[in-house]
Structure 1
Amino acid sequence: MQSSAGNSKKYNVWIWILSITIPLAVAALFSVKIPGVERLGFLPPIYATINGITALILVTAVFQIRKGNRKLHERLMKTAIGCSVLFLILYIIYHMTSDSTTYGGEGILKYIYFFILITHILLSIIVIPFVLITYVRAISGQFYKHRKIARITYPLWLYVAISGVVVYIMISPYY
């Protein structure tokens, strides 16, 4: 049987591969358009809703672990990861079938929108290794280390989930 340190090294390799590959693949797929497929304009409200659900799940999961309900916390966190993966798949599909929507607002709202959008994008990239490391520490029983990094992961992930909804609400009139 492999030691916990050996498993961690194996997981760390996968964490970094995924943390680099996912953003690069998303960026590359932005330039790919699927020919003959109609614009899938119904997807943005769906993936914005998934972001909102993810935020609610994250808050509920933290509440549950503070109550000592480890099993429910674990299920909720797995669900949050699943929601994030589903969001990413739908987001990629949408952008492979549709041109990006330009924000049409003016004045201070335009600057607020772009600030939220840019921080959302940057933190959605940064949070990937944090989520994966936090998850691996939990499943490998390293609960002290899990809690330590979860204190960083949680607010980052929650911001990404909530800001995704805000970005959608702000740009939705321009679809």
Structure 2
Amino acid sequence: MENTLERKYKRLITVLSVLIPIVVAILFGVKIPNVEPLSFLPPIYASINGLTAILLISAVIAIKNGKRKLHENLIKVCMLCSILFLGMYVAYHMTSDSTSYGGEGWMRTVYFVILITHIVLSIIIIPIVLVTYARAALGNFELHKKIARYAFPLWLYVAVTGVIVYLMISPYYVH
């Protein structure tokens, strides 16, 4: 039987997993008029994605070397980085027009495959990361390890493809 804390985590994870994509989608369509575009943000939030990837790899290395507290702290920083990324991403899109990819041919297809998988997995990864974290926080390390095997590569993919998407679209930004 689930205890009260587990039920609270499940409820919170469910709410956040639904609410975050909905709020981001709504805010993505909101344009703040008469505000200086935050055009300096894309390289910053792309760098945060890169940092997240490095920290995720470091967290896995830490836990494989028995450094549980370091692993925990690195994952907390990864979660903070993801929150910072999301805030900057939304702020940029609320003050700036979306940039269209200008590439042609097969590179255009590659770009959109990477972009679409990045977006879809960034939504799917929310509950996976939160459940993984909650299982560790509740001390259920066996279940934590089982889901972390999936959470890590998915989260890493989202972080790395965020950088790739930025690098592919950056020549088309209007400054």
| TM-score (norm. length: structure 2) | 0.97
Residue aligning to 1:86 = 84
State whether structure 2 residue 14 is matched by structure 1 residue 21: no
Rounded Cα–Cα distance in structure 2 between residues aligned with 1:110 and 1:99: 20
Single out whichever of 28-37 and 92-101 deviates more from structure 2.
28-37
Secondary structure of the residue that 2:3 maps to in structure 1? helix
Instruction: Tell me by how many angstroms 1:5 deviates.
Output: 2.4
What residue identity is the alignment partner of 1:62? V
Rounded Cα–Cα distance in structure 2 between residues aligned with 1:109 and 1:8: 46
**Segments ≥4 residues shifted beyond 4 Å:** none
What residue identity is the alignment partner of 1:25? V
* Structure 1 runs not aligned, ≥5 long: none
Rounded Cα–Cα distance in structure 1 between residues aligned with 2:122 and 2:21: 9
Instruction: Tell me by how many angstroms 1:4 deviates.
Output: 6.3
Matches within 5 A, 1:52-91: 52-91=50-89
Residue aligning to 1:166 = 164
Residue aligning to 1:95 = 93
Conserved in 2, the CA contact under 8 Å of 1:38 and 1:97? Answer: yes
Residue aligning to 2:127 = 129
Rounded Cα–Cα distance in structure 1 between residues aligned with 2:16 and 2:117: 21
Q: Please report the RMSD computed on the Cα atoms of aligned residues, expressed in angstroms.
A: 0.9
What residue identity is the alignment partner of 1:30? F
Secondary structure of the residue that 2:38 maps to in structure 1? coil
* Structure 2 runs not aligned, ≥5 long: none
Residue 144 of structure 1 is aligned with which of 142, 145, 160? Answer: 142
| TM-score (norm. length: structure 1) | 0.97
Residue aligning to 2:38 = 40
Map Cα deviations across residues 66-119 of structure 1 (whole Å, 9 max, x no partner). 000001000000000000000000000000001100000000000000000000
Rounded Cα–Cα distance in structure 1 between residues aligned with 2:29 and 2:166: 21
What residue identity is the alignment partner of 2:63? I
How many residues are matched?
A: 173
Instruction: Tell me by how many angstroms 1:36 deviates.
Output: 1.4
What residue identity is the alignment partner of 2:44? I
Identity, % of aligned positions: 61
